[in-house]
A and B are shown apart, each in its own frame.
Chain A
Amino acid sequence: MLPLLGAELRRITGRRGSFYGSILFALIIMGITIAVDDAQSGATAMERVATAGRYAGLLGVVVMGALAGSYDSANGTMRYLVLTGVPRWQLAVVRIVGMMVAVLPMALLILVIAYVSSMGVGDGPSGTVVGESTWAVLATLWTWGIVSTSVGMLMRSNGSAIAVSVVLFFGGALITALVAEFISETLANYLLPTVFEQVAALIKPDEEEGLALSLAAAFAVLAVWLVALSAAAIARVQRDEY
């Protein structure tokens, strides 16, 4: 499995435009945030910069993941990977795991910059804030890395995979708001954007925010979403003709 993972990382990082472009975009947004931020405490400063970094990074990760999922099918290389005799499900799983590993340099850069930039503000960030920010960044990049890689495998075409992944993020928030407003607030609690945000920010049930699920339940629902999307993608890879 490790050699396969190494090969997958080589493929993802080899697409330099999406890999380094995503990191650069996150850094630029963080730079702007630091420049205009007027936080008085280190904790708030780190949270704000890390939040800017994780949302900017998310956009890049959506592109990287969609490409990781769809590239081999769109490019015609998938048939040669299948020809190696490695089971198809394993090829699909390695893509998802590879994507989770590939976002780590970006996550590390976001966290280091957020931490360093907040050190001189007030007393600097506490250990709890550092821990929560680390979790928020990783949860964001991993969740949307898995979602976009799965969408990529389901779509099989680079352009549509990127488009659907981006729409899923932005449109997902809109759909969730509409569901909460016009259909059911309870149902909206189970939708991917809601549980993702609750888990990433470790938000406890809050009536004012309209969050009814416990944190543990939100974790479970998010896991179901990710497993279901990944399973659908793996099933497609397993079934497709190349």
Chain B
Amino acid sequence: MEPVISLNNVTKRFGQHVAVDSVTIDVPKGRCYAWLGPNGCGKTTLIRMMLGLARVSSGEIKVRGLSVPGHTREALSRVGGIVEEPRFYPYLSGRKNLEVWAAHQGREAHAAIAPSLDRVGLADRANDRVGTYSLGMRQRLGVARALLNDPELLVLDEPTNGLDPAGLAEFRIMIRELVDEGRSVFISSHILSEVEKMADDIAIIEKGKMLANGSVADLMRGGTHAISVRTTDPDRAEPLLRALPFSLGVSRVAGDVLEVKVEEADDAALLRTGQDLFGAGIGILELQKKGETLERRFLELTGTTAGELGGASVLAAPPAADSPADATTESR
């Protein structure tokens, strides 16, 4: 099946600065594909190039099988998007804003205004001025606008910004519904937990370079697990944990918390860790398995910390993984 988005060695330079560096991806049709990376890593720049808003320095982009630029109008005729943040005319109502955009897209788009507003739950506030909307409401109106041309492909840049927990849950459901309808959704985000719940496939990007891509399950399988230990004496515990036969490395996450990186965090490994520490007279305050999460995998790949990603906790960065699963492509 032809990919809905195809990027071939796409590069964008701003003077000496390389914002996007030789990115090659094929985004499959009918799936939710997430473009994951910290703020300022080139996510939005790539989206702007895909949508014909910015020029490509080198490389080739195809959207729905058509070159952008070159056949931008045809390529975008069934593409909806939010780029950076949803912007509107604040002095017009939500409905009138959509009417302005529908005027640029034809009669069918005009007929889609009411269903789109219904779909994003804004029908009741459609006649209020957009200037009175919260960021979350503007995000939803942005999605309504993106749906006007019955898109085959939705490109949503950080679409969950400003949504409250209930709004996030609704948004996830809506994205899955759109995918179930056969549409393709391309999302960029720096919020790992959201992407993990929403996306089928993920590409991880850092400093403009794609580090890995593949299905969520494959990407997480490519990562390691860990055993987290909170002890009374972390200094003495560290060499002991490092000497464990299954240990792939130890890192200090917090003052008294150590993490032992392992291939598989199973019960036997947990027991052995506890036994060795008790045997050496070191008190254990907490001992737990840390399984496959996208966050762990992301940190392994990027060598960054959760804090840099805007996560709630700051995690020390373990060394980069070197055992990707077969179905996962890595390019570091």
Contacts and interface: CB of A to CB of B under 8 A. Distances in A.
Interface stretch (A3-11, A35-43, A210-218): A3-11
Given A4-B103, A7-B104, A80 B145 contact: yes
A220 B89 CA distance: 38
Contacts of A86: 73, 104
Nearest to B52: A82
Q: Which secondary structure dominates where chain A touches chain B?
A: helix
A15 B103 CA distance: 18
Contacts of A15: 91
Contacts of B73: 85-87
Given A3-B103, A83-B76, A83-B81, A77 B54 contact: no
B290 interface: no
Interface string B212-243: 00000000000000000000000000000000
Interface in B95-113: 96, 99-101, 103-105
Interface in B40-79: 48, 51-55, 72-74, 76-77, 79
Interface string A72-88: 00011101111111110
A7 B84 CA distance: 24
User: How big is the B interface, by class?
Assistant: 20 to 34
B83 interface: yes
Contact of B51 (A3, A75, A83): A83
B53 A85 contact: no
A15 to B, nearest CB: 6
Contact of A14 (B51, B72, B81, B92): B92
B133 interface: no
Nearest to A82: B53
B272 interface: no
A15 B77 CA distance: 29
A242 B72 CA distance: 15
A117 B52 CA distance: 54
B13 interface: no
B85 interface: yes
Interface in A25-57: none
A15 B131 CA distance: 13
Interface in A1-24: 3-4, 6-7, 10-11, 14-16
B88 A79 contact: no
29 contacts: A4-B103, A7-B103, A10-B92, A10-B96, A11-B100, A14-B89, A14-B91, A14-B96, A15-B91, A79-B48, A79-B53, A79-B87, A80-B81, A80-B83, A80-B145, A81-B101, A82-B51, A82-B52, A83-B76, A83-B80, A84-B76, A84-B104, A84-B105, A85-B105, A241-B48, A241-B54, A241-B55, A242-B48, A242-B54
Given A80-B101, A242-B48, 12 more contacts: A3-B104, A7-B100, A10-B96, A14-B92, A14-B96, A79-B53, A80-B81, A83-B76, A84-B76, A84-B104, A84-B149, A86-B73
